[in-house]
Amino acid sequence: MSTTKKDIKKEPNDIRIGMGSRPRNVIKYATSVMDEKKLTELKFSAVGGSIGRLLDIVEVFKVLKPGLYQQNKISSVAYQTVDSNNVLLQQRLFPKLEVTLSKEEPKNKTEGFQGQMDEKKRKEIETIMNKRKEEREKNRGQRPRGGPRGRGGPRGRGRRAGFRGGRGFGGRPRRGQRPVARGPSRGRGNTRGTSSGRGRGGQRGGPSAPRGNRGRGSK
């Protein structure tokens, strides 16, 4: 009978850190494990790019929970790619870091052993963390609500610049031009209902004509 990863039961103190893990949620869970389940040891692990996040979580947790011992273990993990015939196609190695935090001093100390954090140093770091937390909450409370949206100013739709199909603002025709009838097949743009081309002043409209003859039929 083969054993898969789903068959392996994960212990509550086995905390695996991934790229999507949020430090705040991980620290909250680790605190509940120690306080509610009365466990004296936590095992953190991360692979590859998640190792940096693991170190941040461990350092913050040691400040919040004084008197912890730390053991570090570095290894590597191989990820293999095989085809349908179970033939190895590719294999990549990634570093893996395992950190064990315990309330009791371990009997077998490895090269990555770290003793309890100095209480004076821990208090200083805790004070800095509390100040930063207060500043974040203060800034969050002063953030305005319902303010302007976007880059251009208040919320809403602005006036469309330019003329529309040889018509002035509000749909009125310019002096000397006949009104343009609206139809269902008219396209969008600045030359609605008129011939393409630029009129006087570089504005889009009907074809340029001598002033005074616009809108009047030729004799």
What's the pLDDT tens digit per position in 56-66? Answer: 999 999 999 99
Judge contact between 72 and 131, C-beta under 8 A.
no
Residue 85 predicted with pLDDT over 90: no
Residue 17 predicted with pLDDT over 80: yes
Q: Is 12 helix (H, G, I), strand (E, B) or coil?
A: coil
Radius of gyration over alpha carbons of the chain, in Å?
Answer: 36
Beta strands in the chain (DSSP E): 14-17, 41-47, 69-82, 88-102, 112-114
For tokens 């880059």, name the residue: 151
d(CA 76, CA 97): 8
Confidence of residue 82 (pLDDT cuts 50, 70, 90): confident
Q: What is the pLDDT of residue 16?
A: 94
- What is the average pLDDT value for the chain, to the nearest integer? 75
Residue 179 predicted with pLDDT over 70: no
Residue 54 predicted with pLDDT over 80: yes
* Range in 15-24, 116-125, 143-152, 204-213 the model is least confident about: 204-213
Q: What is the pLDDT of residue 145?
A: 61
Q: How far apart are the first and last CA of the chain?
A: 102
Q: What is the pLDDT of residue 71?
A: 94
Spatial CB neighbours of 83, under 8 Å, sequence gap ≥ 6:
89
Residues 14-126: name the CATH superfamily: Alba-like domain (3.30.110.20)
Query: Diameter of the chain by CA atoms?
Result: 113
Q: What is the pLDDT of residue 107?
A: 87
What is residue 103's DSSP assignment? Answer: S
Q: What is the pLDDT of residue 49?
A: 92
Residue 72 predicted with pLDDT over 50: yes
For tokens 């002063």, name the residue: 142
Q: Is 32 helix (H, G, I), strand (E, B) or coil?
A: helix
Domain boundaries, the chain: 14-126
Question: What integer is the mean pLDDT of 15-38?
Answer: 91
CA angle 130, 125, 120 (to 5 degrees): 125
* Range in 98-107, 172-181, 192-201 the model is least confident about: 192-201
Q: What is the pLDDT of residue 6?
A: 52
Spatial CB neighbours of 49, under 8 Å, sequence gap ≥ 6:
19
Question: What integer is the mean pLDDT of 37-59?
Answer: 93
Report pTM.
0.57
Residue 112 predicted with pLDDT over 60: yes
Phi-psi category of residue 58: left, alpha or beta, with phi > 0 → left and psi -120 to 50 → alpha: alpha
